[in-house]
Structures are given as C-alpha cells and as structure tokens.
Amino acid sequence: MRNQNPQQKRVKNLSLISEGKNLEDVPSPKLEDVKDKEKPLINILLSYFKNIKFPTRNPSKDKSRKNVIIEEATDDIENVVIDAFAIGKVRAYNRKELANSVNNKKFPDMLLLLDRLIKLHNPRFTYTTIQINKGVQTTYHRDKGNIGLSYCIGLGDFVGGGVIVRFADGVEKLYDNHNKWLYYDGHSLEHASNKVKKGLRYAVIYFTHF
Ligand SMILES: [Fe+2]
C-alpha cells in the first residue's frame, strides 16, 4: 500500500467541489468490468468473507456511520450493530496521522488478497483504506473523510443492489455494480446504496483517507 497519493494534490479543488461550486469538474462515475484474471481472487475473497466472524460497528456510536439504514425493526436502536469494518490505514481517534487498522493483523491474508485484486484491476490506482460491509444499506451521503476517486464493488449472491448517485441537477442514476467496479468521486457526489431485494451483498470500497 502506498501512502503518497497523487490524488492528494486535488485537496484544494475538492474543498471547492464539496461546497457545490465546481461540480462540473467532477468526473462522471464509471462502471468497469471485472477482468477474467480477477475472478479467482474474488471467489477466494467471498469464501473468506463468508467464513470469518465479521467485525461489527455500532452506527449510533459512530459519527461516520450515521447514514446506515437498520433494516430490521427494533426498539433497541442504540445497541444495534452492523457487519462492517475497515482494513488498511485508518484514522486513529484523536490522531492526525493514519495508522494501521487492527484488522490488518487479524486478517493479513485478506489484506494481501484485496491489495492484489485492485492492482490486477487498475495498477495505477492508489488507496489507503478498504471498507467491507456485509448486508449494509446506506442513505444519501457524501464520503466526508475521503479524497479523490474510490472503487466500489458489490459481491455475493443477491438481487437488486447497486449504487445510486444524485447529481447536482437532482438527477439520480443507478449504477449496478454487482460484480462490476464503480469508479466514482464519493467525496463530491451524493450517493446511496440501493436496496438488495434478495440475498446478501458484500460491498468492498477502496478509498483514500484525508
Ligand atoms: Fe459512501
């Protein structure tokens, strides 16, 4: 994983973009096919995801996860957890620098597989962090802590899903990223995950932390 990200040069512009002044400069989201050589790695990753005890987060105690939809009806919303975790570099509480996630040591093979996968897909892409969500749906949001372009892919056996992007003119577009890479600027563009009708979605998002 590389820390030096050429996309960081865009910080100044992005602050303008996020204020809505310069949205025409944001590249349109793009769907990219999975290459044949990526498929065996994806299958290994999927069985990895299915076989681990998924780390959980409590969205009500986590400011960055307020946009998560809890689909099960519950009276105990404070104690609901979602199956989601980050691996790679994370922002440690109260610290300026990025630090290694505890999950790097917990799942070292997964980190290597994930890194190998994105390098097969786009060797020029750099990132600091990978977010993995299991059965999680999000409402419209912008990725406040991200910079530059992210890759997001929906994996597993499910029907429906995809990512909806809402553009500055209010137009909403669904990108079906089931087994496809969505390459998009989640910091500048409002987006939400579309509901899964049947089955279970694993969403994998590669991004660069500020
Ligand atoms: Fe997002």
Residue-wise pLDDT for 170-209, tens only, equals 999 999 999 999 999 999 999 999 999 999 999 999 999 9
Q: If DSSP codes are grouped into helix, strand and coil, which group holds residue 124?
A: coil
Rounded Cα gap, residues 162 and 174, in angstroms? 6
Rounded Cα gap, residues 136 and 101, in angstroms? 20
Q: Please give the model's pTM, rounded to 2 decimal places.
A: 0.84
Rounded Cα gap, residues 163 and 177, in angstroms? 7
Contacts of residue 144, Cβ cutoff 8 Å, sequence gap at least 6: 64, 187
Within-domain flag for 98: yes
Within-domain flag for 131: yes
For ligand 1, an ion, list residues with CB under 5 A.
143, 186
Residue-wise pLDDT for 126-179, tens only, equals 999 999 999 998 889 999 888 999 999 999 999 999 999 999 889 999 999 999
Give me 89's structure tokens.
Answer: 């570099």
Within-domain flag for 75: yes
pLDDT, averaged across the chain: 84
Q: How far is the CA of 186 from the centre of ligand 1 (A)?
A: 6
The band of 76, judged by pLDDT with boundaries at 50, 70 and 90, is low
Q: How far is the CA of 51 from the centre of ligand 1 (A)?
A: 25
Using the predicted structure, report yes or no on whether residue 75 has a pLDDT greater than 60: no
Within-domain flag for 22: no
Domain residues for the domain of 141 are 6-16+30-209
Within-domain flag for 130: yes
Q: Which CATH number characterizes residue 134's domain?
A: 2.60.120
Give me 199's structure tokens.
Answer: 């089955």
Within-domain flag for 38: yes
Within-domain flag for 24: no
Is residue 71 within 8 A of residue 80, CB to CB? The reply is no
Q: How far is the CA of 79 from the centre of ligand 1 (A)?
A: 23
Within-domain flag for 51: yes
Name the domain count of the chain.
Answer: 1
Is residue 163 within 8 A of residue 192, CB to CB? The reply is yes
Tell me which residue of 162, 157, 169 sits closest to 200, measured CA to CA.
157
